[in-house]
Structure 1
Amino acid sequence: MAEEEAEAGGSDAGSEEVLLTPAQLIRSLEQAWMNEKFAPELLESKSEVVECVVEQLEHMEENLKRAKGGDLKVGIHRMEVERIRYVLSSYLRCRLRKIEKYFPHILEKEKTRAEGDPSILSPEEFAFAKEYMANTEAHFRNVALKHMPPNLQKVDLLRAVAKPNLDSFVFLRVKERQENVLVEPETDEQREYVIDLDEDSQHLIRYKTIAPLVASGAVQLI
């Protein structure tokens, strides 16, 4: 793998750039992939990481073209390139599946987010989500709505499409110790209580309880 550092910037234009080694960059992609696979909602876009990984893959492939054929190291490096490419494509496919499944809620969240908050969609994903919604509305209109009475020719996609289930349970590993994490009761007879999450400990817990910790990188979904 190449030795030079890759730059991965923050979500905001004014944020400081963070320099990552290629190994750290790949770990960042793998962590984003695992979190996206197991989180019930669409997470913040890691478009900077994706762009840097694509550049790194191109650089690695150029190095492979210049390497001597028959060298065992070449085969190992080629397998690593394919592994990284699989993780990258799986991460992007997972995000697209969530956009297709929850597009009205994702676009509504994007529309109502506070100024300065990071976007959960990359520019390309945002364009895809808007086009997907427009095509869905057009399909409903052409197939069914235009044949119905005028007062029934509208459909509320926010109500028609299911929301992500934030009450679902997820497995996680704690990367940074967390104290006084508030846990909501599962039944009316129970009361709220707080727990401490020790570093490197693993837990099964309701997603919405630890969603901010996933966003901050304090915990890793597994």
Structure 2
Amino acid sequence: MDIDILDLIEEDEDDSQEELTAQKVLQIVEQAWLNEKFSPEILPHKSDYVDCLLEQIKEMEGNIAELSKSNPKLDLHKLELERIRFIITSYLRTRLKKIECFCISILEEEANRSTKDAYLSPAELQFAKAFAQNADNHFETVLRHMPQFYNKLDRNTKVIESNLNSFVFLKCNKHIDSVVIKNLLVGREEEIVLENGSQHLMPYSSVSEFVKIGVVQLI
């Protein structure tokens, strides 16, 4: 779209900052979308980048409105704008779906994290708490009409956890000297090396931390 944004975003603990263009922000959101789509667990949120991209969309819409209808690039710009909207919408919906499915376990894990290390954005955390409360109210209403033997439900029996041992396709963005793969069938571990640019199929649990720091991209 020939539209650049200059945004300073904290990335390191030493408060070093990097100047980002609109294209770089879009790339980060696209990678986060794919990782979220293929990861069995909810990942650390990228709400800062999403908000930045949403602001840029408003500027893009304004620029497109000023273009002449005879401009040959008009339809291409509109198509690109719709693609960006789709990525953002799909990313947010995927996260909300995981929150609804694994709500209690996500909240329990989130309670043990600091605000700085939170996986949920403030809005997502508020949604998760409200969803869990509504679910509890629903179960209590239903159970009141059940026979006495069945009208009690342990909260732990409602906990659904993501399957971290499910297999995922991945691509390495950097060389990794050591990845430990657990073979649950025989109870053994195998240590392998992942080369930069190589693609693999392996349990998510073996590379989960690498996914979260951007060394591995799910595909």
Q: What is the TM-score when the length of structure 2 is the normalising length? A: 0.92
Residue 130 of structure 2 is matched in structure 1 by 131
What is the identity, as a one-letter code, of the residue corresponding to 2:105?
H
- Segments of 5+ residues of structure 1 without an aligned counterpart are none
Distance 1:13 1:145 in 2: 51
Distance 1:8 1:150 in 2: 59
Q: How far apart are residue 6 of structure 1 and its match?
A: 3.9
SS at match of 2:188: coil
Give the 5 Å matches for 1:185-204: 185-188=183-186, 191-204=188-201
Q: How far apart are residue 132 of structure 1 and its match?
A: 0.3
SS at match of 2:43: coil
**Is the CA contact (8 Å cut-off) linking 2:164 and 2:204 kept in structure 1?**
yes
What is the identity, as a one-letter code, of the residue corresponding to 2:36?
E
**Is the CA contact (8 Å cut-off) linking 1:10 and 1:48 kept in structure 2?**
no
Residue 65 of structure 1 is matched in structure 2 by 65
Residue 206 of structure 2 is matched in structure 1 by 209
Identity %: 37
Give the 5 Å matches for 1:50-199: 50-113=50-113, 115=114, 117-145=116-144, 147=146, 149=148, 153-156=152-155, 158-188=156-186, 191-199=188-196
SS at match of 1:72: coil
**Is the CA contact (8 Å cut-off) linking 1:181 and 1:195 kept in structure 2?**
yes
Mean CA deviation greater in 9-18 or 95-104:
9-18
Q: What is the TM-score when the length of structure 1 is the normalising length? A: 0.90
SS at match of 1:184: strand
Coordinate RMSD, CA, aligned: 2.3
Mean CA deviation greater in 12-21 or 191-200:
12-21
Q: How far apart are residue 14 of structure 1 and its match?
A: 8.3
Distance 1:13 1:179 in 2: 24
Q: Paired residues, what number?
A: 219
